[in-house]
Amino acid sequence: MFDLDSRDIKFLPGVGPQKAALLNKELGIYSCGDLLGYFPYKYIDRSRTYKIREIDGNMPYIQLRGRITIFETQGEGKSRRLTGKFTDGTGVIELIWFKGIKYILEKYKTGVEYTVFGKPSLYGHVFNIAHPEIDPVEAIEKIPGLQPYYNTTEKMKTHFLHSKALQKIMYHLWQTIQSPLPETLPAWIIARAQVIYRHEAMRNIHFPQSPDLLRKAQFRLKFEELFYLQLNILRFTRLQQRKLGGFRFDKIGNAFNDFYHTCLPFELTNAQKRVLKEIRADVGSGIQMNRLLQGDVGSGKTLVALMSMLMAIDNGFQACLMAPTEILATQHFETISELVKKIGLRVELLTGSTKKKDRERIHEGLLNGDVHITIGTHALIEDTVNFFNLGLVVIDEQHRFGVAQRARLWKKNSRPPHVLVMTATPIPRTLAMTVYGDLEVSVIDELPPGRKPVQTLHRYDNRRGPLYDSIRKQIQSGRQVYIVYPLIQESEHSDLKNLEEGYKHIQEIFPEYKVCMVHGKMKPAEKEAEMQKFVAGKAQIMVATTVIEVGVNVPNASVMIIENAERFGLSQLHQLRGRVGRGADQSYCILITSYKLSEETRKRIEIMVRTNDGFEIAEADLQLRGPGDMEGTQQSGIAFDLKIANIARDGQILQLARDIANEVLDKDPELSANEHYILKIQLQKIFKKKFNWSLIS
């Protein structure tokens, strides 16, 4: 049997050294196996031919059949174009070319029947199709209904290696394949996942026999791609856990119980209780916990973190909490110190600006075990910070930390401590499974009782009068207001409201109130002082950049105004909105934009106005932007070069793939069974070039 992977494409009919070199360089395709793995990005249904009179202004690519009656060229030089009037007896449209005019005039003749394919658009009163695809009628009759389209680069196109040429090459390749393609999944998985065989899938992905078979082919290939991705991640995680083991927190002791009975200021929500049970099961299992805790802003994650830390302390371990900013770390420190005041634990704050003397004192307390809980920033992962017996690490707002940073904390004890990662930037489950495939996921999907959902409004920036009136009313009734700007200094976009200008403007509008300002370029002490004015209620309005995005907790603030809201991403808007609605009053978030908005921006704003549900927003964000741009994916270290699966749309397939990958590893952790030999081979083949998970061990 021949091996497609070792057969060079240059020996295929219709390829040759020149085209082969292009395919190498432009698409990384060297072997026939590579070529077969280059899938179409879309299929166009050519089973239906439209009549010209059916065309309306809102059609995708369509197929027409008729004759060109006359060619005309217009314009000179760069604006020269060729128009062909095209009719099928029911109407007339124009075919237009801006390039390759000579070639078109030589190739196509008036009066001959052609099939024309393209996207009609309306110009003036006449529909036209720019750069249509034109074929003799007979040629099209040989193509089945669904025509595949392959992505090609500009360079390839100038060498006539366009989609159609690739399709032809693919056809030649397929003709050379004599025996069925070797299977890449074990038989039991094929049966269990109910997928078709690889040979059938490959045939139909390139040459769909029917819409149904195409769908089955896509399902099979998506499943396979996601399955190997999951198998790889899960295998690594399990290996790691087995090798290293984890600290066992057997008992619930005084720290936890005393806190629960005497310090806890309110009843836990059911979601908090459920998550605590999940954590308790993890830390009691003898395997290292790696858990992602997702919960919307204000859902009470801090409390869950604290109570998990108490579990560690009850078992003779220390715990630490790492936050992305100094402000946030300080706030956590204050909250937590206050909460555990009665049970006599030593809690310390360690950040970049901790004084040398204090730092030495804290370092010492960490080493001899006097300090129970440490809260800090990146300063915690410095090599100079060493613990007596670190058992649990909590990381807040994980999207700011990468895999590598997480890994550094693993090394702070003889075995890796348990890790709880918290985020208020919800990640759709499907994405979390891929990006944080090594983490189990817990969700707090319930807010503490008594919160009124924030009301979100969209206003255009040319009507500020009524807005300022309502701000004044809010302040008169004792509330505070945030106003957020996207930039600190005026950039080349002079229409952008700049923070300092805004600050002055607001001071002029509200001379009777105190306005403070916070931005990222301030010195920490200065920032802290301004922040403190607001926290203490001395300033009624805070003008700020996104530095307030995470963590800041001022329950009395009830209005969040976001200027140039069109400049913010969905998850950022949601984070900012989370700064209000923390008290008992009705809160408002006002998104101010200019009148002219792109389609996508309008959608973003609409979603924000419609829902407060962080998961729904994350889902929408993923749909709008795709996974590559999502916060967190860049740091994750996983290249998002999926060939066929789409994480935004294929959540169910991903779940199935993960379940089956887990099943495989339950049965055969080493993949040593004969029937799993193929899994090993495939893993090696797929991941030889990709991210090396062992880097984080």
Kindly list the residues in this chain that would bind ligand ADP in the complex (CB under 6 A). Answer: 266, 268-269, 272, 295, 297-303, 424, 448, 553
Q: Tell me, what DSSP letter sits at residue 429?
A: H
Spatial separation of the C-alpha atoms in residues 266 and 275, rounded to whole Å? 17
CA distances from 638 to 234, 437, 570 (A): 14, 10, 22
In residues, how long is the chain? Answer: 697
Spatial separation of the C-alpha atoms in residues 145 and 209, rounded to whole Å? 8
Specify the residue, 118 or 295, whose C-beta has the smaller distance to ligand ADP.
295
Number of continuous H segments (helices) and E segments (strands) in the chain: 25, 22
Specify the residue, 133 or 396, whose C-beta has the smaller distance to ligand ADP.
396
Specify the residue, 184 or 331, whose C-beta has the smaller distance to ligand ADP.
331
Specify the residue, 451 or 464, whose C-beta has the smaller distance to ligand ADP.
451
Specify the residue, 273 or 690, whose C-beta has the smaller distance to ligand ADP.
273
What is the closest distance, in whole angstroms, from the C-beta atom of residue 271 to ligand ADP in the complex? 9
Specify the residue, 46 or 399, whose C-beta has the smaller distance to ligand ADP.
399
Which is nearest to 415 in space by CA: 547, 243, 295? 243
Spatial separation of the C-alpha atoms in residues 392 and 591, rounded to whole Å? 40
What is the closest distance, in whole angstroms, from the C-beta atom of residue 681 to ligand ADP in the complex? 45
φ/ψ of residue 360, rounded to 5: -60, -40
Sheet holding 418-423, edge to edge: 347-350, 373-376, 318-322, 390-395, 418-423, 290-295, 440-444
Distant-in-sequence, close-in-space partners of 353: CB < 8 Å, separation ≥ 6: 326, 524, 525
CA distances from 120 to 58, 76, 261, 373 (A): 8, 25, 71, 66
What is the closest distance, in whole angstroms, from the C-beta atom of residue 444 to ligand ADP in the complex? 7
What is the closest distance, in whole angstroms, from the C-beta atom of residue 284 to ligand ADP in the complex? 23
Specify the residue, 298 or 376, whose C-beta has the smaller distance to ligand ADP.
298
Specify the residue, 301 or 519, whose C-beta has the smaller distance to ligand ADP.
301
Six-digit token string for 31 = 């072997």
What is the closest distance, in whole angstroms, from the C-beta atom of residue 369 to ligand ADP in the complex? 27
φ/ψ of residue 513, rounded to 5: -115, 165
Pairing of strands 418-423, 290-295: parallel
Spatial separation of the C-alpha atoms in residues 583 and 37, rounded to whole Å? 55
Which is nearest to 206 in space by CA: 165, 162, 174? 174
What is the closest distance, in whole angstroms, from the C-beta atom of residue 669 to ligand ADP in the complex? 36
Distant-in-sequence, close-in-space partners of 458: CB < 8 Å, separation ≥ 6: 565, 590, 591, 593, 605, 606, 608, 609
Specify the residue, 424 or 607, whose C-beta has the smaller distance to ligand ADP.
424
First to last CA, the chain: 40
What is the closest distance, in whole angstroms, from the C-beta atom of residue 300 to ligand ADP in the complex? 3
Specify the residue, 422 or 487, whose C-beta has the smaller distance to ligand ADP.
422
Six-digit token string for 224 = 């396979």
The helix (H) or strand (E) run that includes residue 127 is strand 126-130
Taking the mean position of all CA atoms in its chain, how far away is CA 167? Answer: 32
Contact 271/443 with Cβ under 8 angstroms?
A: yes
What is the closest distance, in whole angstroms, from the C-beta atom of residue 445 to ligand ADP in the complex? 12
Specify the residue, 150 or 401, whose C-beta has the smaller distance to ligand ADP.
401
For the chain, the farthest-separated pair of C-alpha atoms sits apart, in whole angstroms, at: 94
Specify the residue, 266 or 468, whose C-beta has the smaller distance to ligand ADP.
266
What is the closest distance, in whole angstroms, from the C-beta atom of residue 425 to ligand ADP in the complex? 11
Distant-in-sequence, close-in-space partners of 212: CB < 8 Å, separation ≥ 6: none
Contact 324/550 with Cβ under 8 angstroms?
A: yes
Residue tagged 């797929």 (tokens):
686
Specify the residue, 337 or 623, whose C-beta has the smaller distance to ligand ADP.
337
CA distances from 274 to 270, 422, 446, 570 (A): 6, 15, 11, 28
Q: Tell me, what DSSP letter sits at residue 427?
A: -
What is the closest distance, in whole angstroms, from the C-beta atom of residue 324 to ligand ADP in the complex? 13
What is the closest distance, in whole angstroms, from the C-beta atom of residue 613 to ligand ADP in the complex? 15
Which is nearest to 424 in space by CA: 639, 579, 311? 579
Which is nearest to 421 in space by CA: 400, 451, 449? 400
| Residues pairing with 147 in the sheet | 44
Pairing of strands 62-74, 81-87: antiparallel
Spatial separation of the C-alpha atoms in residues 675 and 660, rounded to whole Å? 15
Specify the residue, 353 or 553, whose C-beta has the smaller distance to ligand ADP.
553
- The residue of the chain with the least Cβ separation from ligand ADP equals 300
What is the closest distance, in whole angstroms, from the C-beta atom of residue 304 to ligand ADP in the complex? 8
What is the closest distance, in whole angstroms, from the C-beta atom of residue 449 to ligand ADP in the complex? 7
Specify the residue, 226 or 307, whose C-beta has the smaller distance to ligand ADP.
307
What is the closest distance, in whole angstroms, from the C-beta atom of residue 299 to ligand ADP in the complex? 4
CA distances from 225 to 39, 374, 626 (A): 13, 42, 18
3-class secondary structure, 8: strand
Specify the residue, 299 or 430, whose C-beta has the smaller distance to ligand ADP.
299
Specify the residue, 287 or 554, whose C-beta has the smaller distance to ligand ADP.
554
What is the closest distance, in whole angstroms, from the C-beta atom of residue 394 to ligand ADP in the complex? 11
What is the closest distance, in whole angstroms, from the C-beta atom of residue 538 to ligand ADP in the complex? 21
Spatial separation of the C-alpha atoms in residues 522 and 504, rounded to whole Å? 17
What is the closest distance, in whole angstroms, from the C-beta atom of residue 41 to ligand ADP in the complex? 40
